[in-house]
Homo-oligomer: A and B are copies of this chain.
Amino acid sequence: MGKKTVAVVGLGLIGGSIAMALAGFEDYEIVGAVRSQSTYDFAVSHGVCDRVTMDAAQAVREADVVWLCLPPEAILDFLRDHRDDFKAGGVVTDVCGIKTAIVEGAKCLPDTVDFIGCHPMAGKEVSGVANADRDLFRGAHCILTPNDGNDPAHVALLERMARHMGFRDVVRATPEQHDAIIAYTSQVMHIMAVAVCDDPDLFSCKGFEGGSFRDCTRVAALDVPLWTQLFSLNAPALCRVIQTLEDNLRAYREAIASGDRAALAAKLEYSSQRKRQMNFDSPV
């Protein structure tokens, strides 16, 4: 019996980084499946994985583990198009930043294929295999959304892979919990960053930016097709979080406008203590 195989479908920033970070994992061969010739050439010449192929169907047929590293809609399309190609007894996972729609889409798979949703919480403001980085996941959270039907051995295998890749920890949630929380911890941060850049004074503020401005707007230079899909697929939860933020901003605006400094100080004390408590609980 030969080596086992992991297929990484899509060698973009995340897929390329996963393929590189998986190097040396147990007795698995890492196979990258790509569509473009330029990605193929880059991956081969830079040794991103053990083997690169442009035949994704064949790659998933042979793979004991499949990582789907494509944009959200492309993952859903791939699951439908290749439902009968996945190896019986294998496990399939993905890297999408929303999980309910993906886990729902994966119900098209045969019962012999085990799907477990995954969200590696890492990224960059640049895309493509040329920006892939074997250390991208160091210190980051890896979220899995297993359900009662999944094989515990498969969940354990993905956890070992995550640890090998350098993730700080592996957290479990239901797809619905994941999407509600991620609307707050990630999606609305991106909405804030782009909303700040819509201010008419953006370009006249050059020379007046501090660290807080650079940090907050860092993620505004986002991948538009990807984030259009992520926001749209999580619209109800995200809209609730944006509304809450609007309300909390208005409350600060009213406290500042009132001229009541004691009330403003009390409000700032409340919020900043929450942040300190958060730091205390989650040293990063």
State which of A50-58, A149-157, A240-248 sits at the interface with chain B: A240-248
How many copies make up the complex?
2
Interface: A130 (CB within 8 A): no
State which of A8-16, A19-27, A102-110, A181-189 sits at the interface with chain B: A181-189
Minimal beta-carbon separation of A282 from chain B (angstroms): 5
CB proximity to B under 8 Å, residues A168-187: 169, 171, 173, 178, 180-182, 184-186
Interface: A46 (CB within 8 A): no
Q: Which residues of B contact A244 (CB under 8 A)?
A: 199-200
Q: Which residues of B contact A217 (CB under 8 A)?
A: 275, 278
CB proximity to B under 8 Å, residues A257-273: 257, 259, 261, 264-265, 267-272
Interface: A239 (CB within 8 A): yes
* Docked CA distance A267–B222 (Å): 12
Q: Which residues of B contact A259 (CB under 8 A)?
A: 232, 235
**Other-chain contact of A248, B123, B195, B211 (Cβ < 8 Å):** B195
Minimal beta-carbon separation of A89 from chain B (angstroms): 31
Minimal beta-carbon separation of A261 from chain B (angstroms): 5
Minimal beta-carbon separation of A252 from chain B (angstroms): 5
Given the interface pairs A215-B218, A216-B215, A241-B199, the reply to whether A269 lies near B224 with Cβ below 8 Å is: yes
Minimal beta-carbon separation of A133 from chain B (angstroms): 13
Q: Which residues of B contact A213 (CB under 8 A)?
A: 185-186, 189
Is the CB–CB distance between A261 and B194 below 8 Å?
Answer: no
Is the CB–CB distance between B228 and A271 below 8 Å?
Answer: no
Which of A169, A180, A232, A281 lies at the interface centre, i.e. has the most chain B CB atoms within 10 A of its CB? A232
Interface: A249 (CB within 8 A): yes
Given the interface pairs A181-B205, A208-B185, the reply to whether A194 lies near B243 with Cβ below 8 Å is: no
Q: Which residues of B contact A197 (CB under 8 A)?
A: 271-272, 274-275, 278
Is the CB–CB distance between A121 and B265 below 8 Å?
Answer: no
Is the CB–CB distance between A212 and B193 below 8 Å?
Answer: yes
